[in-house]
Amino acid sequence: MTKTFDQLWAETFRYAAECSPFYRELFRGQKAVPALANVPLLDKPTLSERNLDFLCVPRERVVEIVTTSGTTGNPLLWMLTEADVKRLAVNEQISFGCAGLTANDTVVVAVAMDRCFMAGQAYWLGLREIGCGIVRTGATSPLLVLEMIQRVQPTAIVGVPSFLRIVAEKAREAGLDLRKTSVRKLICIGEPIRDAAFRLNHSGATLEAAWGAKVYSTYGVTELANSLCECEVGQGGHLHDQQLHLEILDDAGQPVADGEVGEVVATTFGVEAMPVIRYRTGDCAALYRGKCACGRTTPRLGPIIGRKNQKLKFKGTSLYPATLAAVLEQSAAVEAFVIIARKENELSDAVEVLVHGAVPVAQLREAFQARAKIAPQIRHATREEIEALQMPPQARKRRTFVDLRHEKVGGGGL
């Protein structure tokens, strides 16, 4: 039975106030259900510091333990009950349904299912709910993905855009035209494939051209055990409002209008082990509540344009690293890159761009000026140097932005 927001919020409040040590302390003495907007925001440092105080069930009821990626700090332990695993499966079933997947599809899951990673498990669960045929190749061998494409003839692949581009390059080297294979859909996770206006960015357009397949963007957060996937219209990820409530807030913590960018703040519904209320994800995007052209009426989350704590101050201009990355991705001569930020003074950051490829520095500087209105320091580097910065030891996600603004001299990145 579909519940109203008020019912879902009341259930979440009462459950968290009774069962979570953190929320029991926060809501002590509060009998009536407060307006959600009056509940204090929850940030990542607090969640990290009080990690296990968010657990609402005895440890013997925990059936899955995963960790966050750790891209903005120490990885959190995140626990799920059997009911939470089922909720996760239903969420992904709905998400993949938005992308049009059915039991007639065979899907390659080119995402890690090890290293305490939730995403791969979530996608596998959702595809099982739909009844798809599943090929779990993981993301370590592009050649294995190509082999399975030829032997199994899958109709869709779930993977990170940068890995799917590597697969496409290996296919080109092997003389395999991916446009003539059975793959018709690429479900892209972890990296943006659209800009703020919903246009395909360079990565998304490159994938569609190389694969001859339609790309779909998804957005997910481990702490929410939830993801939002685009439909065929490509105008944002559809929210599953029986599982999740989203707010978009400005720097002062106030809601912004529909279509305006702010920080994504989330409240989970129906979570047993570790519910969160008004959790600041740190991601910046816009929310759209109008009816989608696909006919769905659920709110849609627009493309993530950056992380709140990654916003750069550079010579009087504020911008996100994604703006610089978009310029680099549009240059065919740039084979690899990484953006490095350091603290220069209280009013400005120092920004350096390392690139690999036969691209003139003057040409890149001109492109930055045209698109971002700034000209960061640019230096040519070896692919090995850039690779080491993109994938440091123990990293689970490739990064193109290294933030050294809060590190001591000689310290490492995030």
Query: What is the pLDDT at residue 331?
Result: 84
26-65 in b/e burial notation, b at 16+ Cβ within 10 A? ebeeeeeeeebeebeebebebbeeebeebbbbeeebbebe
Strand ranges of the sheet holding 279-285, from the earlier edge strand across to the other edge: 244-249, 262-268, 279-285, 306-307
Q: Which of 303, 344, 332, 345 is nearest to 320 (CA)?
A: 303
Contact 324, 334 (CB under 8 A): no
Please give the chain's pLDDT, 414 residues, in tens: 899 999 999 999 999 999 999 999 999 999 899 999 999 999 999 999 999 999 999 999 999 999 987 655 578 999 999 999 999 999 999 999 999 999 999 999 999 888 888 999 999 999 999 999 999 999 989 999 999 999 999 999 999 998 999 999 999 999 999 999 999 999 999 888 998 899 998 889 999 999 999 999 999 999 999 999 999 999 999 999 999 999 999 989 999 999 999 999 999 999 999 999 999 999 999 999 999 999 999 999 999 988 888 888 887 788 888 888 888 888 888 988 999 999 888 778 999 999 999 989 999 999 998 888 888 999 999 999 998 998 887 666 778 899 998 765 433 332
Give the per-residue pLDDT at 333: 87
> How many whole angstroms separate alpha carbon 399 and alpha carbon 316?
26
Query: Which residues, at least 6 apart from 217, have a Cβ–Cβ distance to it below 8 Å?
Result: 188, 192, 193, 194, 204, 229, 230, 234, 237, 303
369-393 as b/e: b if 16+ CB within 10 A: eeebebbbebeebeeeebeebbeee
Q: What is the pLDDT of residue 314?
A: 82
Helix/strand/coil percentages in the chain, nearest 5: 35, 25, 40
**Biggest CA pair distance of the chain:** 69
* 347: number of Cβ within 10 Å: 9
Apex CA 329: angle with CA 326 and CA 334, to 5°? Answer: 140
How confident is the model over 55-106, as pLDDT tens digits?
999 999 999 999 987 655 578 999 999 999 999 999 999 999 999 999 999 9
* Domains located in the chain, CATH noted: 1-307 (3.40.50.12780), 311-403 (3.30.300.30)
Q: What tens digit of pLDDT does each residue of 315-332 get?
A: 778 888 888 888 888 888
Distances from the Cα of 148 to the Cα of 99, 145, 158, 165, angstroms: 22, 5, 13, 16
Give the pLDDT confidence score for residue 348 in this predicted structure: 84
- Residue 388 contacts by C-beta under 8 Å, 6 or more apart in sequence? none
pTM of the predicted model, to two decimals? 0.85
- Distance CA(297)–CA(289), nearest Å, equals 8
Token representation of residue 127? 């595809």
* 264 exposure class (CB count in 10 Å sphere: 0-12, 13-18, 19+): buried
Cα–Cα distance, 398 to 401 (Å, whole number): 9
- Residue 222's pLDDT is 93
